[in-house]
Amino acid sequence: MPPFEIKKDIYWVGAIDWNVRDFHGYSTKRGSTYNAYLVVDEKVTLFDAVKKPFTNDLIHKLIKVLGDLEKIDYIVVNHVEMDHSGALPELIKRAKPEKVFCSPMGYKALKEHFHEEDWPLVEVKTGDSISIGKRTVQFIETRMIHWPDSMISYIPEEKILIAQDAFGQHYATSERFDDEVKYDELMQEAAKYYANIVLPFSPQVEKLLKTVEEMKLEIELILPDHGVIWRSHIKDIIDAYKRWSTYQARNYALVVYATMWHSTEKMAMAIANGLMSEGISVKVMNASIDHRSDIMTQVLEAKALVFGSSTLNNNMLPQMADVLTYIKGLRPRKKIGAAFGSFGWSGEAVKHINKFLEEMQAEIVHPGYRAKFVPTHEQLKECVEIGKTIAKAIKEKQNA
């Protein structure tokens, strides 16, 4: 794809990765983009780079706009992660920029990643700004959103926020703006991105959103490092980040199970029926079929998490262990929790699931239910009642 002029003398010069399907265990079914942005002013400034295999894509676009890479005066590294900095060594070698701006933690990270001593690195902190001619670039450190080095850049004259990984989506598309793609797909990918990457850093996101409000930044465009540019749905994505960063949930329950011979599956369906009989929306997912990152996306706004597994070798099934380990690392909070499962002769799965729920700080509303081998009709009726118990807890939280 050729360079794309976002506004006068401001270009998208990134790369589209149509083929990526896994990002650190996160399923990227719609691919991704690695966005870089070029501002042509008295000081020609490039914001971020691309993943190393796409270095030539970036360089070709820059040459198309500038004619000569050595016209680049400044590079701003908002985020050091390799999908945004992989092209830097070749780019710096060929462009010979006057300065490379980064946060104090970014300075350390660039040294530790690339071990280059002669790069013209310049540290900037929150409140610092530089003039690039007709435009100014203001810097705001966003530590741990989602790396220690992260920062965002704001161009007040253009009302543009260059947001690094914040507000991103793993979404490969030839379109560059939010109003040029399907809204439901866009928000689904934004939610998946938040759930699987940003969620552990929600307190920092909440703080950043308050800082942006206090600074009274006027924002007409948000330029993330992944996905499309926000121009028509800025309020929608900021409102979504406010909800997600404060762990606001909708009144629905997520039931996830891993089953050996369908007994735990029967229990899962009975619990779901109990929830539905009380008017609670339910999503049922099979850990053997549904990808961990798709399950995690549903966790984001679920009020109740109900996990079930058969017992295998005194533990839960490995599919459930995989899902729970992944979810725990992303630190969902303010959830209602319950566990269930079938067993043959030992039955430890429920105990192990409860431990995960405790580590997630979930409010466990049932001690856990076990059925030996194949559940009887009476045991399935008990599972229905458990669903009703969880529904009651959801309603109580709603009314609290």
Residue 146 falls in the annotated catalytic set: yes
Task: Name the β-bridge partners of 221.
Answer: 160
What's the chain's length in residues?
Answer: 400
Determine the angle formed by the axes of helices 349-359 and 318-329, rounding to 10 degrees: 10
Residue 5 falls in the annotated catalytic set: no
Rounded distance between C-alpha atoms, residue 132 and residue 43, angstroms: 5
Task: Name the β-bridge partners of 139.
Answer: 153
Give me the residue label for tokens 């749905």: 233
Is there a contact between 195 and 172 (Cβ–Cβ < 8 Å)? no
Rounded distance between C-alpha atoms, residue 166 and residue 174, angstroms: 21
Rounded distance between C-alpha atoms, residue 279 and residue 388, angstroms: 10
Rounded distance between C-alpha atoms, residue 56 and residue 50, angstroms: 10
Rounded distance between C-alpha atoms, residue 371 and residue 383, angstroms: 10
Residue 301 falls in the annotated catalytic set: no
Residue 291 falls in the annotated catalytic set: no
Q: Which two tokens stand for residue 99?
A: 């300065």
The catalytic position among 41, 73, 141, 165 is: 165
The catalytic position among 34, 57, 146, 290 is: 146
Which of 3, 97, 96, 19 minimizes the C-alpha distance to 51? 19
Residue 11 falls in the annotated catalytic set: no
Rounded distance between C-alpha atoms, residue 386 and residue 367, angstroms: 10
Rounded distance between C-alpha atoms, residue 28 and residue 172, angstroms: 9
The catalytic position among 24, 112, 115, 214 is: 24
Give me the residue label for tokens 């719609």: 30
Q: Provide the H-helix boundaries in the chain.
A: 55-66, 82-85, 88-95, 104-114, 183-193, 202-215, 234-245, 263-277, 292-301, 318-329, 349-359, 377-399
Rounded distance between C-alpha atoms, residue 16 and residue 62, angstroms: 15
Residue 81 falls in the annotated catalytic set: yes
3-state secondary structure of 158: coil
Rounded distance between C-alpha atoms, residue 272 and residue 266, angstroms: 10
The catalytic position among 170, 226, 233, 352 is: 226
Residue 24 falls in the annotated catalytic set: yes
The catalytic position among 26, 74, 193, 326 is: 193
Is there a contact between 377 and 267 (Cβ–Cβ < 8 Å)? no
The catalytic position among 41, 81, 178, 189 is: 81
Q: List active site positions.
A: 24, 79, 81, 83, 146, 165, 193, 226
